[in-house]
Amino acid sequence: MARLFVIDDEEAICWGMRRLGESLGMEVRTASSAEEGLAAVPDWPPDVIVLDVRLPGMDGLTAVEHFRERIGLVPIVVITAYGDLQTAVDAVRKGAYEYIVKPFDIEQVERVLRRALESGRATRDSAPVVDQPGGLVGKSPAMQEVYTRIALAAPSDACVLVFGESGTGKELVARAVHQYSRRADGPFVAVNVASLSPSLAESELFGHERGAFTGAERPRTGLMVQADKGTLFLDEVADIPLPTQVKLLRAVEHGEVLPVGSNEPVKTDFRVVSATHQDLQQHVQQGGFREDLYYRLCAFQIDVPPLRERADDIIDLADHFRAAFARRDGASGAPLAAATLNRLRERPWYGNVRELRNAIEHALIVARGGPIQPEHLPAPVPEALSTEATGATNVEQQLADLVRRWAESHLNDAEGADELYDRLLHMVEPPLLQAALEAYYGQCATAARRLGLHRTTLRKKLDQYGV
């Protein structure tokens, strides 16, 4: 019969765990302190331990290491009522099998216990912890999952993809992965791919030699080489041009980059953490993102929840920002009125944490040192202004709606309804062709294949529009 040892100073938790364990056919023993549990395990070695973090005397996280010394790699499930990123990382670093926050669902604990019994071991380690600038704030179940994923990802060198809407804090998650990893002493090099023009993306990432192209008057060290021994954070990774994706894949796989205009590859050792709000799988299906690169970058994924899915964190976040701005400005920090707290909870926050941060900063300015009232808050951001709330699919729908409205307006105009199809093509084809040429550095054959046109047809259209 499998043995479950529950160590918690709350009698209700011990009682509930005993009932659950016995229902699973386990022999259950309980203890109210880590010292009591450590004294018992040599004579009664358990198959699974459920261990509270806050205990009288020795705390649970310290006890994990002592249990390891006495009974080896027995799965230890850590439970706590005070979940944060630091605790999650510490728990995983010390070898905890799982990390659960109170109040928890019995079905969740049951699933964890079953997995722990099947695995029979816990072998996860992590690197020394470094304080994270700004920090991730929140104790909601959704954020606890993020903390756990960060803790699991940090010790590995595997590529990580951070997915979430704009304003959710994807870069903070990326920085946490870096700073809780063994690369923490190395550089964290962040680049927003969407801000790079297709013609400059390759030079920025890989570097270039002097004279490699017009205007290259001096050599440049690429961001991948700058990230040596550290982490390269690629924000908006879905916007990497296809030609650059090929070189990026080789650089990630072989640890070397070839600067533009050079024949000599440069060795570099970096880890890639990328982020996007777009559906990369959909981009792969549509041919806009290489499938092999997708699987390389998405070895491990962390989903960052939108603020509407972690409403319990809104007040904590508001207090965090209020205190941070007060420290920055050397002020005492105006309190949030009760009515303001209610208003903050009620808002949809389509702009997520970024919108909340801006709202608190705005309110502090308007309040001029007094209590922050609801009228001091700026107007909510409309859903339509949140690009990621609409998504790439909705952008296409918006374009279709615009074309339909344009057509209806002209079809109702008897004098201006002639040759509407040709007029539409003259509006939409030039920017499409221009974008394709820029993406493929003026290579008509490649651009034509991507557009689904014969290259002769493309050249005729370019001449027609003067592109």
CATH of residue 154's domain is: 3.40.50.300
Q: Which pLDDT score, from 0 to 100, does residue 144 have?
A: 84
pLDDT class of 125 with cuts at 50, 70, 90:
very low
Q: What distance separates the 2 farthest-apart alpha carbons in the chain? A: 96
Please give the Cα distance from 47 to 285 (Å, whole number). 46
**Quick check: 257 pLDDT over 50?**
yes
pLDDT class of 121 with cuts at 50, 70, 90:
very low
Q: Which pLDDT score, from 0 to 100, does residue 169 have?
A: 92
Q: Which pLDDT score, from 0 to 100, does residue 14 have?
A: 92
Proportion of the chain above pLDDT 70, given as a percent = 88
**Quick check: 195 pLDDT over 80?**
no
Q: How many domains does the chain have?
A: 4
Residues 281 and 403 in one domain: no
Q: Is residue 133 part of a domain?
A: no
pLDDT class of 384 with cuts at 50, 70, 90:
low
List, in sequence order, the alpha helices (H) in 41-122.
60-71, 85-93, 106-119
- Nearest in space to 155 (alpha carbons), one of 181, 129, 183: 181
pLDDT in tens, 266-283: 899 999 999 999 989 888
- Written in H, E and C, the secondary structure of 180-212 is CCCCCCCCEEEEEHHHCCHHHHHHHHHEECCCC
Q: Which pLDDT score, from 0 to 100, does residue 273 have?
A: 96
**Quick check: 215 pLDDT over 70?**
no
3-state secondary structure of 379: coil
> Residues with Cβ < 8 Å from 427, sequence gap 6 or more?
none
- CATH code at 28? 3.40.50.2300
Residues 293 and 330 in one domain: no
98-101 and 266-267: which strand pairing? unpaired
Tell the residue number behind the tokens 């709202």, with chain if given: 359
Residues 26 and 112 in one domain: yes
**Quick check: 465 pLDDT over 70?**
yes
Q: Which pLDDT score, from 0 to 100, does residue 376 have?
A: 92
Q: Give, as one character, the DSSP assignment of residue 83.
A: -
Neighbour-count burial of 231, counting CB atoms closer than 10 A to its CB (0-12 exposed, 13-18 middle, 19+ buried): buried
Q: Is residue 135 part of a domain?
A: no
Q: Which residue has the higher pLDDT, 211 or 431?
A: 431
Q: Is residue 401 part of a domain?
A: yes
Residues 187 and 286 in one domain: yes
pLDDT in tens, 127-179: 333 334 336 888 888 888 898 899 889 888 999 999 999 999 999 999 999 98
Q: Give, as one character, the DSSP assignment of residue 336.
A: B
List, in sequence order, the alpha helices (H) in 368-454.
387-411, 420-439, 444-451
Average pLDDT over residues 250-258: 88
Residue that terminates a domain, selected from 323, 349, 381: 381
Residue that terminates a domain, selected from 279, 303, 327: 303
Residues 9 and 99 in one domain: yes
Q: Is residue 331 part of a domain?
A: yes
Residues 176 and 274 in one domain: yes
pLDDT class of 230 with cuts at 50, 70, 90:
very high
Q: Which residue has the higher pLDDT, 201 or 376?
A: 376
**Quick check: 355 pLDDT over 80?**
yes
Q: Is residue 430 part of a domain?
A: yes
What does each C-alpha distance from 310 to 146, 317, 332 come to in angstroms?
Answer: 12, 11, 28
Please give the Cα distance from 40 to 157 (Å, whole number). 38
Q: Which pLDDT score, from 0 to 100, does residue 415 have?
A: 59
Q: Which residues sit opposite 5 in a β-bridge?
A: 29, 49
Residues 208 and 257 in one domain: yes
Q: What is the mean pLDDT of the chain?
A: 83
Please give the Cα distance from 229 to 249 (Å, whole number). 18
Q: Where in the sequence is the domain holding 357, given as residue range(s)?
A: 310-381
Residue that terminates a domain, selected from 256, 272, 303: 303
Q: Is residue 129 part of a domain?
A: no
**Quick check: 443 pLDDT over 90?**
no
Q: Is residue 128 part of a domain?
A: no
> Residues with Cβ < 8 Å from 259, sequence gap 6 or more?
206, 207, 208, 209, 212, 219, 220, 222, 266
CB neighbour burial string for 369-390, b if at least 16 within 10 angstroms, e if fewer: eeebbeebbeebbeeeebbbbe
Q: Which residues sit opposite 272 in a β-bridge?
A: 232
pLDDT in tens, 90-120: 777 777 888 888 778 788 888 888 888 876 5
What is the number of alpha carbons within 13 Å of residue 88 lying toward its C-beta? Answer: 24
Residues 262 and 351 in one domain: no
Residues 9 and 101 in one domain: yes
Q: Which pLDDT score, from 0 to 100, does residue 123 have?
A: 33
pLDDT in tens, 33-75: 999 999 999 889 899 999 998 899 998 888 988 888 788 778 8
Does this model's pTM top 0.75? My answer is no
- Give the number of other Cβ atoms within 10 Å of residue 252's Cβ: 18
Residues 147 and 294 in one domain: yes
Residues 290 and 364 in one domain: no
The values of phi and psi at residue 274, to 5°, are -115, 165
Please give the Cα distance from 30 to 8 (Å, whole number). 8
Q: Which pLDDT score, from 0 to 100, does residue 122 have?
A: 31
Proportion of the chain above pLDDT 90, given as a percent = 32
Identify whether the C-beta of residue 343 lies closer than 8 Å to the C-beta of residue 374. Answer: yes
Residues 295 and 327 in one domain: no
Identify whether the C-beta of residue 180 lies closer than 8 Å to the C-beta of residue 127. Answer: yes
- CATH code at 357? 1.10.8.60
Please give the Cα distance from 340 to 67 (Å, whole number). 48
Please give the Cα distance from 452 to 308 (Å, whole number). 41
- CATH code at 451? 1.10.10.60
Q: Is residue 267 part of a domain?
A: yes
